[in-house]
Amino acid sequence: MAEQINREHMALKLSGNASPEYSIVIPVLNSSRSLVPLYEELKNVFDERRAAFELILINDGSTDSSWEVIKQLHDKDPNVRGFNLSKNFGQHNATMCGLLHARGQYMITMDSDLQHDPKDIFVMRSKLDEGYDCIIGSIPDKKHSFLKVLSSRIMDYLNTKFIGKPKDIKLSSFRIISRYLVEEFNKIKTPFAFFPAMLFSTTSKVANSDITHRPSYLGKSSYTLGKLVKLASNLIINNSSILLRNVAVIGILSSIISGSLAVIIIIKKIFWGIGVSGWTSLFVAMLFQGGIILLSLGIIGEYLVRIIKQQTDNRYFVIREKIE
pLDDT of residue 52: 94
Altogether, the residues listed in the chain come to a count of 324
For position 94, what pLDDT does the model report? 94
Reported pTM: 0.74
User: How many of the other CB atoms lie within 10 Å of CB of 168?
Assistant: 8
For 297-314, b/e burial (b = at least 16 CB within 10 A) is: eebeeebeebeeeeeeee
CA dihedral 51, 57, 58, 61 (to 10 degrees): 160
Q: In the prediction, which pLDDT does 319 show?
A: 92
What is the block-wise mean pLDDT of the chain (324 residues), using blocks of 10 residues?
Answer: 37 50 96 96 95 96 96 96 94 92 95 93 94 92 64 79 87 94 85 84 94 77 62 64 71 74 75 66 68 76 69 75 90
> Residue 238: what pLDDT?
64
DSSP 316: S
Scored b (16 or more CB within 10 A) or e, 176-192 reads bbbbebbebbeeeebbb
Task: Check: CB of residue 176 under 8 Å from CB of residue 125.
Answer: yes
What pLDDT, on the 0 to 100 scale, is given for residue 236? Answer: 67
Residue 153 CA to residue 223 CA, distance in Å, equals 14
